[in-house]
Amino acid sequence: MTLTIPALRARGAARRRPRRPLGLVLAAAFLSLVVLTAVLAPVLAPHSPEATDLLNSLAPPGTEGHWLGTDSTGRDVLSRLMHGARLSLLAPLGVVLLSGVLGTAVGLLAARAGGWVDAVLTRAMDIVFAFPSLLLAMLVVAVFGPGLAAPVCALAVAYTPFLGRVVRSMALQEGARPYMESYRVMGFGEWWVTLRHLLPNVAPVILAQGTLSFGYALVDLASLSYLGLGVRPPEADWGSMISQAQSAILQGQPWSGLIPGIAVLLTVVSVNVLGEHLSGSIARRQGETR
């Protein structure tokens, strides 16, 4: 009899653990696949993403040697999709990291410094917030020329208020809590307390916000590439693949644009699902602790 008790307990414990939603599992699986493909693209891709074959252009999916067909210059769509995943993921990651650092710094500074510093930073964030991010990126590209570095920096600046506002609001809430006052009474410096204790408490929110921003950045950068303002040819990213497929689409041969289009859509949806789940978990955990 004694042996059955732990077993029953274990079964009971398993029943209580919330099941992960199917959408979340699928999103995580898809993103893992995309990341893995991007990392292993040089090994997995059947062809060089830049190898042209004009006499074999616009071959349909299923053509021998080209599972997803070829584009208008005869480049293998699958290989370009795999290699394109690298820039399509890395560039938004750059935006998220940069805007994460900037937004956190601005938000914390505004909340903790208060007074005119807070007023100036908040107004500055309002101004940047009101400026369309894509337009800002296009202006920067117009000044510095095409390529990914300039739009990544521009989008990072444009995305800063999204995180900065949330961090400021969270920091103001946390700053009013008794534990912060205790540290001050104990003689710890304001910025030491902010970085050592306040920042870790707002970190999950930063992470959740960053995940969601990733999806936006991916679409914005894909749009820039679609407009011919992103990566330099012949490099591949999904946005430029869609753009280069325009004439093929008009000819009734949409696959070289449709396939990267589906990749963008599924990746953005997956990242959003993951980000929303993360936000929900944090909100629940915060609700439980308060």
Partner 1 sequence: MTRRPRTAALAAALLGSTVLTACSGGGGPAAGQPNAPTITTAVPAPARDVDTVTWNLASGEPTTLDPAQSALESVSTVVANLCEGLFTFGPDYQRKPALATSVDHPDPLTYVIHLRRGATFWDGRPVTPEDVVYSVRRILDPALGSPWIGWAANLRGIEPTGDDRVTIRLKKPDALVPNFFALPAFTVVQKAFAEKAGKGFGTAKGGVMCTGPYRVAGWTQGREITVTRNGTWWNTAARPRVKSLRFTFIADPAAQSAALNSGDVDGQFNVPRAAHAQLAGRGNLLFGRSLAPTFLAVVDSGGALSDPATRQAIQAVIDYKGVIRSVYRGTAQPLRALVPPAAWGYARDVYQGEYDRLPEPTQDLARAKDLVGRSARAKEKIVLAYTTAIEEETRTATAIADAAAKIGMRVELKPMTGERFAAVFGSPKGREGIDLLLSTGYLDSPEPLSYYQFFTTGNFYNFAGYRNKEYDTVIATAIGTEDPAARARLVVRAQSILARDLVTIPIATQYVNVYYGPRLAGVVPRQNYLYTPWAASLGGK
Residues lying near partner 1 in the complex (CB under 8 A): 50-55, 57-58, 60, 72-74, 146, 162, 212, 215-216, 218-220, 222-223, 226, 228, 232-234, 239, 242, 244-254, 257-258, 261-262, 264-265, 268-269, 272, 275-276, 279
Transcribe 51-101 into DSSP letters: ---GGGTTPPTTBTTBTT-B-TT--BHHHHHHHHHHHHHHHHHHHHHHHHH
Q: Which is nearer to partner 1, 175 or 257 (CB)?
A: 257
What residue has token string 């444009």? Answer: 158
150/158 Cα distance (integer angstroms) = 12
Q: Minimum Å distance from CB 250 to partner 1?
A: 4
With vertex at residue 261, the alpha carbon angle to CA 257 and CA 265, rounded to the nearest 5 degrees, is 175
Q: Which is nearer to partner 1, 63 or 201 (CB)?
A: 63
Q: Minimum Å distance from CB 62 to partner 1?
A: 12
198 closest CA partner among 178, 169, 175: 175
Q: Which is nearer to partner 1, 28 or 228 (CB)?
A: 228
Q: Minimum Å distance from CB 75 to partner 1?
A: 8
Peptide bond into 234 cis (omega under 30): yes
Q: Minimum Å distance from CB 182 to partner 1?
A: 34
Q: Which is nearer to partner 1, 10 or 265 (CB)?
A: 265
80 closest CA partner among 45, 37, 53: 45
Q: Which is nearer to partner 1, 194 or 243 (CB)?
A: 243
Q: Minimum Å distance from CB 218 to partner 1?
A: 8
Which residues share a beta bridge with 70?
Answer: 76
Q: Minimum Å distance from CB 237 to partner 1?
A: 12
Q: Which is nearer to partner 1, 113 or 136 (CB)?
A: 136
212 closest CA partner among 280, 258, 122: 280
Q: Which is nearer to partner 1, 41 or 141 (CB)?
A: 141
Q: Minimum Å distance from CB 217 to partner 1?
A: 9
Q: Minimum Å distance from CB 33 to partner 1?
A: 18
Q: Which is nearer to partner 1, 61 or 197 (CB)?
A: 61
Q: How far apart are the first and last CA of the chain?
A: 41
72 closest CA partner among 252, 245, 221, 280: 245
